[in-house]
Amino acid sequence: MPKKSGDSPVDHVFDMISEHGVKMIDFKFMDFPGQWQHFSVPVKQLEESSFKEGFGFDGSSIRGWKAINESDMLIMPDATTAFIDTFIETKTLSLICDVVDPITKERYERCPRSIAQKAEAYLKSTGIADTAFFGAEAEFFIFDDVRFDTNEHSSYYYLDSVEGRWNSGRDEMPNLGYKPRYKEGYFPVPPTDHLQDLRNEMTLNLIAAGLDVEAQHHEVATAGQSEIDLRFQPLLKSADALLLFKYVIKNTARLRGKTVTFMPKPLFADNGSGMHVHQSLWKNGKPLFYGNGYANLSEMALHYIGGLLKHAPALCAITNPTTNSYKRLVPGFEAPVNLAYSQRNRSAAVRIPMYSANPKAKRAEFRCPDALCNPYLAFSAMMLAGIDGVLNKIDPGEPLDKDIYDLAPEELKNVPSTPGSLEEALHALERDHDFLLRGDVFTNEVIDVWISYKMEKEVKPMALRPHPFEFGLYYDG
């Protein structure tokens, strides 16, 4: 392994290896549905040439990837993504990787990170903007215990949290109370907020991994619902950051005997976890969403919002990609089910934050997504929908600033809503995906594989299984 000392990202990697006494290199890359995968090599295997030649691996067992007869793949480490992985006992440096074909050396069509790279390249090619900034607010639950199983004759899940309101009467020898009420978990101080110290530890671990954290707090639901906010970054870097965020959050919790889930709706009858995604376009270092229109938005910003709203049903197949996602996207739980925009209404799919008058802070917040999405695909799809709105000058209609819950039925029926199920969203994507094909960012093959994978691996298996609630409804019929 060569010793380097210079200004390039590759030089910086070798400087980190030397400074921290690194023994192993861990390569992290993304599968098709949206989870990090990895393998490791001894540090001596990493050479300067490794960043151009890559490392081979068998891709046939990666979800949604190649068949076994064409399984050889290469990962290409991105030197700009290096971080010291403090959750591995042996001193380890991690690198996020792209996946390429070993013969052609071209980006693998189903590598989600390559899709995000193509999205950024396409944006620049349009001349509309040169940077799309994204900032994701990922909510999650911190539990003390989780058990689940399903088989031919039984099915159940069981979640528990010392903070869960349902434990207010449990003998905890002693039970000290201070358990947030359902839907009243937003911002109570300790001791009602049991998790301040853990979230602080998560925050410091995120900062140590190189992420820029803006705030942390308890969220609305009981039983440890939380949020930690990252500062916005360009599209690809923001997607990288979200994956590192989830990795740090889960592993910090595990070291403290806790478990984290980003499932949108793990609890019945309380608020679910979403991932509001703030986005804006910039060119030559200047923000393009500030103007003299509604909520101080530019015409470009309004057209971008028009694109998001027009394509929202199809977007949901990518931004809300699980059957569980649609147990969150229901009225009555602050869920953004209404395909409208507003500067204040939090049940609208698009909100325009009004915290600051600074033109650089002007952005659109798409509130539908959840953190089970593949961020490379989701951020790329949202940007393409917005760009389609800009190119075609799509009118977003009138803003919806009324309280939606007080709207008369005749008014509410004119407000379109998000799909009611993953299957419905996938059908919407089948009908409406031409906007994703611009610049060859997505391909028909990628979209077809996404739809078929979700239908065969998730929608149909879920539909085949009896649900415990059905026994209460029908067993004695």
Token output for 291: 């103007």
Active site residue 276: yes
Active site residue 98: no
Burial of 161 (0-12, 13-18, 19+ CB in 10 A): buried
Contact present, 452 and 458 (Cβ < 8 Å): no
Token output for 101: 């074909």
Catalytic pick from 63, 231, 256, 346? 346
In 3-state terms, what secondary structure has residue 10?
A: helix
Active site residue 89: no
Q: 314: closest CA among 198, 204, 426, 220?
A: 426
Token output for 241: 């950051």
C-alpha 39: how far from chain center? 23
Q: Is the peptide bond before 174 cis (omega within 30 degrees of 0)?
A: yes
Q: 377: closest CA among 443, 303, 326, 456?
A: 443
Active site residue 346: yes
Q: Which amino acid would we find at residue 66?
A: K
Catalytic pick from 85, 98, 219, 240? 219
Contact present, 369 and 351 (Cβ < 8 Å): no
Active site residue 427: no
Contact present, 320 and 329 (Cβ < 8 Å): yes
Q: What is the DSSP letter of 379?
A: H
Contact present, 404 and 334 (Cβ < 8 Å): no
Catalytic pick from 85, 227, 229, 423? 227
Q: Which residues contact 187 (CB under 8 A, 6 or more apart)?
A: 217, 218
Give the integer Cα–Cα distance in Å for 8 and 211.
Answer: 20
In 3-state terms, what secondary structure has residue 383?
A: helix
Q: How many CB atoms lie under 10 A from the CB of residue 15? A: 15
Q: Which residue has the tokens 């007080």?
A: 406
Q: 348: closest CA among 292, 300, 295?
A: 295
Catalytic pick from 58, 403, 430, 448? 58
Catalytic pick from 98, 120, 139, 270? 139
Contact present, 54 and 75 (Cβ < 8 Å): yes
Catalytic pick from 194, 276, 311, 438? 276
Q: Which residues contact 403 (CB under 8 A, 6 or more apart)?
A: 345
Q: What is the DSSP letter of 34?
A: S
Q: Which residue has the tokens 């076994």?
A: 68
Pairing of strands 24-30, 92-100: parallel
Catalytic pick from 98, 137, 229, 240? 137
Active site residue 299: no
Catalytic pick from 31, 98, 240, 365? 365
Active site residue 227: yes
Q: How is 129-178 classified by DSSP, letter by letter?
A: -SEEEEEEEEEEEEESEEEEEE-SS-EEEEEE-TT-GGGTTS--SS----
Which sequence positions are flagged as catalytic? 58, 137, 139, 219, 227, 276, 346, 365, 367
